[in-house]
Chains A and B, each alone.
Chain A
Amino acid sequence: MTGSAAAALQVEGLWKSFGPLDVLQGIDLEVAEHEVIALIGASGSGKSTLLRCINLLETIDEGRIFIEGEEITAKGVNVDRIRRRVGIVFQSFNLFPHMRVIDNVTLGPRKVLKRPASDAEADAMRLLERFGLAEKAGQLPDRLSGGQQQRVAIVRALAMQPDLLLLDEVTSALDPELVAEVLNVIRELAAGGMTMLIATHEMGFARDIANRVCFLDAGRILEQGPPAQIFAEPREARTRQFLTRIIEAGRL
């Protein structure tokens, strides 16, 4: 892929192994600004690893990653500065259990962006309000439902005003009746133009929201295209197999 300078994210020939296991085997991926990419694929195909590499939570073995043209995998790059620009939301929320919701949200702005506490809190309250969480601001995370916790985790990532948001199966740990509230938040973000890379098993949601769907298989992007094409007429046999299994599981 030849990089257009303004790509929000560009991944080139990314390899990653854990010991003898080659988890990512040459990933090439380009995401334009405001684009929403759905990353689908079987469990263990490397979705989480790819997202963690993009956020530099894993060291990579080979390849390069660019954020808005700047190589973040170059030697001597300040990883903390990169992470400010890339938000990630995890399957298991990973809220800080010893901090109130509002402190979870303002920790990054206060300690990393060095914003005065009052400003950070005012902004955090605006975000919490926008996602219907204002009255939870003073509570500890374990007093919240799973859906509320995940929405707080999204707000926490948004408070850093990232250029790119990575979402790793953010509804997989939720009771079915709580999935919709989280998906609606993501829909709203997409409508607002947030650039997102979303690993998900919610195929209906992926079809609705994504500009492009990437099918990850054994550490490679086997096939990618607009949702209509991937879901209706997948070219690759492995993609068809995967989608058939998903349909049998009643998730499409």
Chain B
Amino acid sequence: MTAQGGPDATSRGGPASLPGSRAQRRRDERTSALRSTLVAFLSTFVVFGVLVYIVVNSPGWPAVQASFFAPDIFWSSLPGIVAAFLVNIQLFLISEVLILALALVLAVARSSTAPVLFPVRLMATVYVDIFRALPGVLVIYILGFGIPGLNLPGVPTDPFLYAIVALTLIYSAYVSEVYRAGIASIHPSQTAAARSLGLSQPQALRYVVLPQAIRRVVPPLLNDFIGLQKDTVLVSYIGVVEIFRQSQIVEAGTFNFTPYLATALVFLVVTIPLARFTDWLVARQARRGGGASGAASQVASALGRSRGGQAAP
């Protein structure tokens, strides 16, 4: 083989033997793919079988089964829990809109470069630092109990309102960092091109930079939506009767934990599709040409830096 030289040897293999070997290779590939699937299926089955066996045969299982898996309580509590989840959805939708707007303002303020805007940059930076540093629950407590506690005339007492405000304050700090990473990922030559046409800095931002930046950060934004959706349960602490509070109420009446299981199921049903959709978007963005994927990874790395401690518990 070495004496004859590789290329010669293969070409002498001839056209007759080539199609045969190619078909053979394809058959081999198919068999090995089938084998992989089988192995994956079997190992999953074994692992979960063993886990279920261990749990079900543990000494405490009957008690756990009775307090967490009570079918009658599950079905009787489910309508109330689903109804309470509508409150979470309201919290989520209203604060999300406010977050997206406030965060954009913060990001634009922090991305500004003009010396005269330094105070604005400073305020935005301090804001973001504070609300990323504080545990979300604390912000919710301080706002939800502190401000109504002042007993000032004309200050509202509705906990729902403070829930919205608290979630908006906390999450807009995170989301502004997502936007900012997106803005930073747009090459300065885009701004230069816009400015060279006579567009002002704000016009360049509005028509050229932001539309591209926002498109790039849709997947990480969706990730934050998922976090927000889960964090809506935190406002139960200040008395908003949402899904978690509702399950606590049922638990208090029945001394049974099944409602929490129902709540968990509701979140799984809602959140997993959203998470899958986000993954799909990220994968699609990565598949798109070099520029876009380079940009996506730039956004991702900028985000990695900003994610010291997520608010979510």
Residues of A participating in the B interface, judged by any CB pair closer than 8 Å: 52, 55, 57, 80-81, 83-84, 86-88, 90, 92, 94-98, 107-108, 111-113, 142, 156-157, 160
List, sorted by A's number, 7 A–B pairs whose CB atoms are closer than 8 Å: A80-B199, A83-B196, A87-B197, A94-B192, A107-B197, A111-B207, A156-B197
CB distance from B202 to the nearest CB of A (A): 11
Q: Which of B197, B207, B212 gathers the greatest number of chain A CB atoms within 10 Å?
A: B197
B189 located at the interface, meaning its Cβ lies under 8 Å from any Cβ of chain A in the complex: yes
B230 located at the interface, meaning its Cβ lies under 8 Å from any Cβ of chain A in the complex: no
CB distance from B33 to the nearest CB of A (A): 35
A96–B166 alpha-carbon span in the complex (Å):
38
A90–B194 alpha-carbon span in the complex (Å):
12
Residues of B participating in the A interface, judged by any CB pair closer than 8 Å: 189-190, 192-200, 203, 207-208, 211-212, 215, 289, 291
A80–B203 alpha-carbon span in the complex (Å):
11
The verdict on A108 contacting B211 (CB below 8 Å), with A92-B189, A94-B189, A96-B190 known, is no
Kindly identify which residue among B197, B199, B211, B289 contacts A142, using a CB–CB cutoff of 8 Å.
B289
- Contact assessment for A96 and B196 in the assembled complex, using a CB-CB cutoff below 8 Å: no
A-B pairs with the 6 shortest C-beta distances? Answer: A108-B197, A94-B193, A84-B198, A112-B198, A83-B198, A88-B196
CB distance from A159 to the nearest CB of B (A): 8
- Contact assessment for A90 and B189 in the assembled complex, using a CB-CB cutoff below 8 Å: yes
The DSSP consensus for interface residues of chain B is: helix
The verdict on A108 contacting B289 (CB below 8 Å), with A57-B192, A90-B193 known, is no
Name 15 extra pairs, CB < 8 A, besides A88-B196, A97-B291.
A52-B192, A57-B196, A80-B195, A90-B192, A92-B189, A94-B189, A94-B190, A96-B212, A97-B212, A98-B215, A107-B197, A107-B208, A108-B197, A108-B198, A113-B198
CB distance from A217 to the nearest CB of B (A): 26
Number of residue pairs across A and B with beta carbons under 8 Å? Answer: 61
A98–B193 alpha-carbon span in the complex (Å):
14
CB distance from A125 to the nearest CB of B (A): 18
- Contact assessment for A107 and B190 in the assembled complex, using a CB-CB cutoff below 8 Å: no
Kindly identify which residue among B197, B200, B203 contacts A160, using a CB–CB cutoff of 8 Å.
B197
What residues on B are CB-neighbors of A90 within 8 Å? Answer: 189, 192-193
What residues on A are CB-neighbors of B192 within 8 Å? Answer: 52, 57, 90, 94
- Contact assessment for B199 and A98 in the assembled complex, using a CB-CB cutoff below 8 Å: no
- Contact assessment for B207 and A107 in the assembled complex, using a CB-CB cutoff below 8 Å: yes
A242–B200 alpha-carbon span in the complex (Å):
39
What residues on B are CB-neighbors of A112 within 8 Å? Answer: 197-199, 203
A79–B190 alpha-carbon span in the complex (Å):
18
What residues on B are CB-neighbors of A113 within 8 Å? Answer: 198
What residues on B are CB-neighbors of A156 within 8 Å? Answer: 197
CB distance from B53 to the nearest CB of A (A): 56
- Contact assessment for A87 and B190 in the assembled complex, using a CB-CB cutoff below 8 Å: no
A118–B200 alpha-carbon span in the complex (Å):
22
Kindly identify which residue among B193, B198, B291 contacts A96, using a CB–CB cutoff of 8 Å.
B193
CB distance from B307 to the nearest CB of A (A): 27
- Contact assessment for A83 and B197 in the assembled complex, using a CB-CB cutoff below 8 Å: yes
Kindly identify which residue among A80, A86, A95, A157 contacts B200, using a CB–CB cutoff of 8 Å.
A80
The verdict on A108 contacting B199 (CB below 8 Å), with A90-B189, A92-B189, A98-B215 known, is yes
Which residue of chain A has the shortest Cβ distance to B192 in the bound complex?
Answer: A57
- Contact assessment for A107 and B199 in the assembled complex, using a CB-CB cutoff below 8 Å: yes
- Contact assessment for B212 and A98 in the assembled complex, using a CB-CB cutoff below 8 Å: yes
CB distance from A96 to the nearest CB of B (A): 6
A83–B192 alpha-carbon span in the complex (Å):
11
